[in-house]
Chain A
């Protein structure tokens, strides 16, 4: 058995893609940064990839199952991640693979009928939730989950509405650093813009909500393929690992007139969260200058250097941040 790892050559990548398709898995569109391939000659017997802190596209030929190939692949991926200083890893798999990855040191985070999210830290999600600020006893909490790429008047409006309805509001900013504005910048903008609302606590999502692990398609350029199964997993993680232990009873969300993926996600929220004990409150989008305010509109203006046109869309806090703090190192 030969072992190969790194970034795959186009020929090897096409073999791995065919192999994944034969195993009934959706292959990645492009070669991931790091892939492990086990093969006998030119025949792939097992593979797996690492994308940031997520193990993905792991498969073993059914004829070779029970030979410990999965452990070999996972070990290589974990060692490579360690070399990059990444120790907290997640993976998403079919629920029936529970024991297989359990044997490789992964623990379940949350599961749906079709998907299982696992991480290599025991009680990782529970410990993460416990590390967040908590509402007082008997106090009902609300939550907002937003990328804030960048923070707009729309985000501010949403937070104000939530703060009016709940004594304690979690304002989760996505931790995944794959957006135009860095996670550091997005968090700083949210904090600056919400400082005067004492009920609102700005928190990070960690790797658990709308992340590469739970909702990979959110970050793709071509977001048409955003899977309903991912949305269900993401919302289940929110309900079980966050809403339940933190006493979150309501999730506030802005109406989505533009982006089809976000609109589908909102729809999934309204269908799936209430049965899990979370009411969904959809707030109409603020409009300005003849259209709904959106972060993508703001980005287009920033990229075109039309700073003057930003005023109706962003708060004074964001405008100041973009002027004074933001390094134009953006992509």
Chain B
């Protein structure tokens, strides 16, 4: 999939994460802002990259404001945001 527009998913409430994705050329750029950056920053980035990879997204600007979301929540928000940013409704569940 290709990111064609800017989109948002999630909230900035505790235990959630807000993901914003925008078109970009030349790879993935992640701007992570997390309350648990020190403890889980690397794991969060890895989870984001993995979800984008699964969806075949090679280039995107990804901004993430994390309020200590569980990994499954992070993955879900990234996916939802990616589908919106790619303007794609052919969801591949699972």
Q: Chain B residues near A76 (CB, 8 Å)?
A: 11
3-28 of chain B: CB within 8 A of chain A? 6-8, 11-14, 16, 18, 20, 22
Q: From known contacts A104-B65, A105-B65, infer whether A78 and B12 are also in contact, taking CB-CB under 8 Å.
A: yes
Task: For the complex formed, measure the closest distance between the CB of B14 and the CB atoms of chain A, giving whole angstroms.
Answer: 5
A74 vs B16: C-alpha distance in the bound complex, in angstroms? 13
- In the assembled complex, A75 has its CB within 8 A of some CB on chain B: yes
CB closest chain-A residue, reference B5: A85
Of the listed residues B8, B12, B33, B67, the one surrounded by the most CB atoms of chain A closer than 10 A to its CB is B12
- In the assembled complex, B35 has its CB within 8 A of some CB on chain A: yes
- In the assembled complex, B50 has its CB within 8 A of some CB on chain A: no
- In the assembled complex, B31 has its CB within 8 A of some CB on chain A: yes
Q: From known contacts A71-B13, A103-B35, A105-B18, infer whether A79 and B65 are also in contact, taking CB-CB under 8 Å.
A: no
- In the assembled complex, A302 has its CB within 8 A of some CB on chain B: no
**Choice from B7, B8, B12 contacting A104 with Cβ under 8 Å:** B12
Q: Chain B residues near A103 (CB, 8 Å)?
A: 12, 35, 67
Q: From known contacts A104-B65, A105-B33, infer whether A87 and B14 are also in contact, taking CB-CB under 8 Å.
A: no
Q: From known contacts A68-B13, A71-B14, A122-B31, infer whether A79 and B8 are also in contact, taking CB-CB under 8 Å.
A: yes
Q: From known contacts A87-B6, A104-B65, infer whether A71 and B12 are also in contact, taking CB-CB under 8 Å.
A: yes
55-87 of chain A: CB within 8 A of chain B? 68, 71-72, 74-76, 78-79, 82, 85, 87
A interface with B by C-beta (< 8 Å): 68, 71-72, 74-76, 78-79, 82, 85, 87, 103-105, 122
B interface with A by C-beta (< 8 Å): 6-8, 11-14, 16, 18, 20, 22, 31, 33, 35, 63, 65, 67
Pull 6 A–B residue pairs with CB atoms less than 8 Å apart, ordered by A: A74-B12, A75-B16, A82-B6, A82-B7, A105-B12, A122-B31
